[in-house]
Amino acid sequence: MKKIIIINGPNLNLLGNRERDIYGDISLQEIENKAREKCKKMNMDLFFCQSNNEGELINFIQSAEEKYDGLIINPAAFTHTSVALLDALRAISKPKIEIHLSNIYNREDYRKISITSEGVNGLICGFDSFSYILAIEAINNLIKV
């Protein structure tokens, strides 16, 4: 059974309540439930986590090398600022996908730059919560077990 980790960055715990015009009405718990359902159908084991702390996100990323076959990350605001997350992603040899609920290229200028995407195999953005489902399908195809 393939094992994946989905890592969620800062403020994503507020989904469903914050900036609904951008991020929609769905909560992170609802996204997790949909991701678990998709993984179950694909016979994949999922660890789903969220933190507002950059260091904790780095620890989650580093754990992927030994514990998981692939990694999906929504770095949220750290996408545009964190060289530390980029360095952690680059240190992991497993397949990695970056995701975003909104289309970062259709937002403010500072959000159009993804520092972290330089450390992943691919980027999925702009499909709301379906970005997570697309990423699960993509990571399944990238994992060679």
> Could you give the domains of the chain?
2-142 (3.40.50.9100)
Q: What is the pLDDT of residue 47?
A: 98
Q: What residue ranges of the chain have pLDDT lower than 70?
A: 19-20, 22-24, 145
pLDDT tens digits along 116-140: 999 999 999 999 999 999 999 999 9
Q: What is the pLDDT of residue 23?
A: 64
- Which residues are 98's β-sheet partners? 73, 123
Residues annotated catalytic, as ranges: 23, 100
CA 51 to chain centre: 12
pTM reported for the whole predicted model: 0.94
